[in-house]
Amino acid sequence: MSKNEVYLGIDTSCYTTSVALIGREGGLVGEARRILQVKPGCRGLQQSEMVFQHTRNLPILLEEVLKKPLKVIGIGVSARPRPLEDSYMPAFLVGLGLARSLAAVNEIPLWQISHQENHLEAGLWSAQGPDADRFLLLHASGGTTDLLLAEKQTDSTYALTQAGGSKDLHAGQFVDRVGVALGLQFPAGAALEQLAATAADCIELPVAVRQGDVSLSGPATAALRKIEAGADPAALAAGVQYALAETFVRMIRNVAAQKEIFDVLLVGGVVSNAYIRRHMIEKLAKRRIRVWIPESRFSPDNAAGCAAYAFRQGESSYE
């Protein structure tokens, strides 16, 4: 086994270009990522702009991490948003195209997974668990608010089945709509968390949960109305955090009881928020639900999951 041999992960999501390297002992050798640029006051990018920025960013990031004497022996890449046949988004074609080219030129294996599976793999790798055949996965981000049943397969992959989630607005969209209305830069998650940390009070917002189904459009509308009425920005930011954390807790609590599963892995940019994490751990512990949390930098979009998946698949071939 050579210490210079690494597995490369590539992820080109809606708002982050990411690459990562994992060595043959399973540790992170290097990683780099770049947030896509959004004009002030805007709440997103068109797919064509995402493709352009990813195409520009990827060579820079690869040059940053791929330095001699490292040798790439396998590649993992996010090829689509979700592990579904009809799941498609142009942004992921940038990373997939480069990964296929590198694999062909270097005659090395390529493993394709979905962006959602990349989050799962990054979470498992960073949190070192759950080591269970069945557990719940909460994926909360700008484009996803899913509670999934993860079931380990004979080939060590995981089948993901919808067990709950938002029926309207996604958690990250809730944060960003309120954040931009408060004058914060998109994506607003980190800035909103910093603002909430200065709050002396917390403005109450509604929480709408029925079994595994949640609604976030109502809380978002309530928050925007409070901004128009002159609400304290910090207290409102704290209210957004509480509403999201409590929404997640109630949804997980309901589904965990129904399916008799008491391990949950948290992934996605929204659950990198320290307050949301603490609230969930404390509340779910009362129901004896164990919460697994990756290091905060591996909750948002990153390529460590793709690299970890390639490592797991590649090393199994040596056994």
Q: What percent of the chain has pLDDT over 70?
A: 99
Kindly state whether residues 146 and 221 are assigned to the same domain. Answer: yes
- Mean pLDDT score of the chain, rounded to an integer? 95
CATH of the domain at 212: 3.30.420.40
Q: Per residue in 194-229, pLDDT tens?
A: 999 999 999 999 999 999 999 999 999 999 999 999
Using DSSP's 3-state secondary structure scheme, residue 281 falls into helix
Residue 83: closest CA among 293, 313, 305? 305
Backbone angles phi, psi at 152, to 5 degrees: -70, 135
Residues 167 and 287 both lie in one domain: yes
Q: Is the confidence at residue 184, as pLDDT, over 90?
A: yes
Asked whether residue 214 falls in the same domain as residue 286, the answer is yes
CA atoms within 13 A on the CB side of 214: 33
Q: For residue 142, give its domain range.
A: 130-294
Number of domains the chain contains: 2
Per-residue pLDDT at 319 = 60
The answer on 136 and 217 residing in a single domain is yes
- Same domain for 252 and 285, yes or no, is yes
Same domain, 82 and 100: yes
Give pLDDT, residue 197: 97
- Model confidence over 134-164: pLDDT tens digits? 999 999 998 899 999 999 998 889 999 999 9
Cα–Cα dist 267/88, whole Å: 21
Shared domain check, 305 and 286: no
DSSP 194-212: HHHTT-SS------EEETT
Q: Does 84 share its domain with 141?
A: no
